Amino acid sequence: MLTKKQHELICFIADRLEESGVSPSFEEMKDALDLKSKSGVHRLISALEERGFLRRLPNRARALEVLRMPERAETAKKPVAAPTIGGKALGAAAPARSLPQPANDVIEVPLHGRIAAGTPIEALEGTEILPVPAALLGPGDHYALEVAGDSMVEAGIFDGDYALIRRAEDARDGEIVVALIDDAEATLKYFRREGGMVRLDPANRSYDPQRYRPDQVRVQGRLAGLLRRY
């Protein structure tokens, strides 16, 4: 049997998911239940998880899934049969309420910093977290980098954008990659092989292609998507 507050919380979450597809924040749940702190919300959610009513989706911010709803007033009542005439029901029973599905799938990826000359990717790891809609990412391990400069503007990548990168150690010709040059400089460019060299092409006519020996270039990942703040 759920407590009154547990019952109120799961109904509030289910209603919000049904209305907008987005789980309420802990602050919103605290206010809705008139609790003094968010720690009370954490305890209620943990209790609902233990009883099999809720599930927290891993690696996703504010994503809760309602697994089942409590019976009305926590009592199992037998359904009342609809009146019939000649064996035909006068009114059909209301359909059972379907459980709302969370549409706010958000994956938290590490934001390693800016793609800046003289700063290896490894030195930027573990600094911040960037929430990213799951629809922008496919399978694999991802991280984000803030773009610095205008060398890729003709590809629609601007200074201040967040490049979403799928980790990879190789690339096909024509793919946009994060390349680490001489273990010192990270850059976002088109990757191409030219004879026995690696050519990194900008998407800006004001800049020239860069050519390196294969041993000078390490692919750190391939571009999977972009985020932009206005």
How does pLDDT run across 122-147, given as a tens digit for each residue? 445 545 778 887 777 777 888 888 88
Compute the distance between CA of residue 227 and CA of residue 71 in angstroms, rounded to an integer.
42
- pLDDT at position 118: 36
Q: Among 4, 98, 151, 206, which one carries the catalytic annotation?
A: 151
Going by DSSP bridges, is the β-strand pair 142-146/106-114 parallel, antiparallel, or unpaired?
parallel
- pLDDT at position 94: 44
- Inform me whether the pLDDT recorded for 3 exceeds 70: yes
User: Closest Cα partner for 115 from 201, 177, 208?
Assistant: 177
Taking residues 111-131, what's their average pLDDT? 61
Residue 22: pLDDT band with limits 50, 70, 90: confident
Residue located via tokens 């994956």: 107
Q: Among 23, 37, 78, 189, which one carries the catalytic annotation?
A: 189
Helix (H) or strand (E) holding 41: helix 38-50
CATH assignment, 4-74: 1.10.10.10
Residue 110: pLDDT band with limits 50, 70, 90: confident
> What Cα–Cα distance (Å) separates residue 21 from each residue in 13, 104, 111, 143, 185?
10, 6, 26, 26, 42
Q: What homologous superfamily is domain 107-227 in, according to CATH?
A: Umud Fragment, subunit A (2.10.109.10)
Residue located via tokens 């980790």: 167
How does pLDDT run across 144-177, given as a tens digit for each residue? 888 888 889 999 999 889 999 999 999 999 999 9
- pLDDT at position 1: 66
| Average model confidence (pLDDT) across the chain | 77
Compute the distance between CA of residue 2 and CA of residue 70 in angstroms, rounded to an integer.
8
- pLDDT at position 81: 47
> The pTM is what?
0.54
- Inform me whether the pLDDT recorded for 6 exceeds 60: yes
Compute the distance between CA of residue 127 and CA of residue 163 in angstroms, rounded to an integer.
16
Q: Which two tokens stand for residue 179?
A: 């390349």
Compute the distance between CA of residue 188 and CA of residue 163 in angstroms, rounded to an integer.
9
Compute the distance between CA of residue 47 and CA of residue 53 in angstroms, rounded to an integer.
9
Greatest C-alpha distance within the chain:
88
- Inform me whether the pLDDT recorded for 97 exceeds 70: no
Compute the distance between CA of residue 201 and CA of residue 194 in angstroms, rounded to an integer.
11
Q: Is 151 a catalytic residue?
A: yes
- Domain extents in the chain: 4-74, 107-227
Task: Provide the CA 105 distance to its chain's centre, in angstroms.
Answer: 5
Compute the distance between CA of residue 29 and CA of residue 24 in angstroms, rounded to an integer.
6
User: Closest Cα partner for 142 from 221, 217, 200?
Assistant: 221
CB atoms within 10 A of CB 56: 14
- Inform me whether the pLDDT recorded for 98 exceeds 60: no
